[in-house]
């Protein structure tokens, strides 16, 4: 399995993974951002990679400059943010998320980021939160989500 930039023919496969884990509007938003990057248009330094083998896509991860509301939780002057990390539900527990995360951390270091920050909604408490704990991320605090009553846990990990 390799990690590489997504290609135009990956978009439907990526959308199927996204829709397993998040609402359609959120999945559509990220699919548009991935499609924009594939077509050479990025905003907020947003970049994406997929874990693939031949023509199959098993997971997707993104990196971007952090949202202003999470910057106060950063412990360095140059944090990066994990924008999305989703693995096909049939492939959970096979090390794909770990491989994508380690790849992203190395890529972030190459780009001059000093730490990674990730927001994770409470609905992922039983899946993502434990994963980030195991990957060496610490819980930095919480911020509100789009709806003010939705709290998102913020995790961080220094890249030195």
For the segment 49-77, the average pLDDT, to the nearest whole number, is 95
Residue 146 has pLDDT above 80, yes or no: no
Q: Which letter does DSSP use for residue 77 in this model?
A: S
pTM summary value: 0.94
CB 75 within 8 Å of CB 158 = yes
Model confidence at 68, pLDDT cuts 50, 70, 90, reads: very high
Residue carrying the six token digits 């003010």? 148
Residue 11 has pLDDT above 90, yes or no: yes
Looking up residue 27, the CATH number of its domain turns out to be 3.40.630.30
Q: Is the dihedral of CA 76, 99, 87, 25 positive or negative?
A: positive
Model confidence at 147, pLDDT cuts 50, 70, 90, reads: low
**The predicted structure's pLDDT at residue 151:** 86
Q: Where would I find the beta strands (DSSP E) of 25-137?
A: 47-53, 56-64, 79-87, 115-121
- Number of structural domains the chain divides into: 1
Read off φ and ψ for residue 147, nearest 5 degrees: -85, 130
Q: Which domain holds residue 138?
A: 2-158
The CA distance from 11 to 34, in Å, is 8
**The predicted structure's pLDDT at residue 42:** 87
Q: What is the pLDDT of residues 73-132, one digit of tens each?
A: 999 999 999 999 999 999 999 999 999 999 999 999 999 999 999 999 998 999 999 999
If one counts every other C-beta atom within 10 angstroms of the C-beta of residue 21, the result is: 18
Residue 145 has pLDDT above 80, yes or no: no
């Amino acid at each position: 399995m390799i990690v590489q930039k997504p290609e135009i023919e990956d978009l439907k496969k990526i959308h199927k993974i996204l829709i397993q884990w998040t609402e359609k509007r959120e999945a559509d938003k990220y699919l548009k951002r991935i499609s924009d990057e594939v077509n050479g248009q990025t905003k907020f330094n947003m970049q994406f990679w997929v874990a693939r083998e031949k023509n199959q896509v098993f997971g997707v991860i993104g990196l971007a400059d952090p949202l202003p509301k999470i910057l106060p939780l950063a412990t360095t002057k140059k944090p990066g943010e994990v924008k999305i990390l989703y693995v096909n539900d049939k492939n959970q527990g096979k090390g794909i998320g770990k491989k994508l995360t380690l790849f992203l951390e190395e890529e972030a270091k190459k780009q001059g980021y000093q730490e990674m920050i990730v927001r994770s909604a409470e609905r992922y408490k039983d899946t993502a939160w434990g994963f980030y704990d195991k990957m060496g991320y610490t819980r930095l605090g919480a911020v509100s989500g789009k709806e003010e009553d939705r709290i998102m846990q913020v995790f961080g990990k220094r890249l030195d």
